[in-house]
């Protein structure tokens, strides 16, 4: 399999990237507002199967250029902030620290929630 950006056969606003992940492959899906998910597969056969679900079979310069055009836009920045907050919320949930997750839930806006993230991770690391 080839590392690169793959166009979606059904949507013109969705890209997948394939990158090495140790001795596996990571397939990450992207929209104009950032990453929407990822799958890690063990081998070329499994990756080919994943790509067969709506993706072009070869990476393309056009898909890479489209992804590059999204990066750095206000929509992309907002999506990345939202993903950061969601990941932090999931970590709180994993450790059963819903008191910390509520800080994110009740933040007055997205930028405030982002500002809470480092402190929440420090508290999670302490295990308190």
User: What is the per-residue pLDDT across 21-56, written as a single tens digit (0 to 9) for each?
Assistant: 999 999 999 999 998 888 999 999 999 999 999 999
Q: Is this prediction's pTM over 0.95?
A: no
Alpha helix stretches (DSSP H) within 52-73: 61-70
Q: From the CB of residue 34, how many other CB atoms can be counted at a distance below 10 Å?
A: 18
Q: How many residues does the chain have?
A: 128
């Amino acid at each position: 399999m080839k590392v690169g950006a793959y166009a979606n056969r059904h949507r013109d606003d969705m890209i997948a990237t394939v990158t090495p992940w140790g001795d596996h492959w990571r397939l990450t899906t992207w929209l104009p507002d950032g990453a929407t998910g990822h799958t890690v597969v063990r081998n070329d056969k499994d990756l080919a199967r994943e790509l067969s679900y709506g993706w072009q079979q070869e990476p393309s310069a056009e898909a890479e250029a489209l992804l590059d055009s999204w990066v750095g836009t206000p929509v992309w920045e907002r999506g990345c902030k939202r993903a950061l907050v969601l990941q932090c919320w999931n970590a709180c949930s994993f450790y059963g620290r819903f008191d910390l997750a509520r800080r994110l839930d009740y933040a007055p806006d997205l930028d405030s929630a982002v500002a809470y993230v480092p402190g929440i991770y420090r508290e999670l690391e302490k295990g308190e």
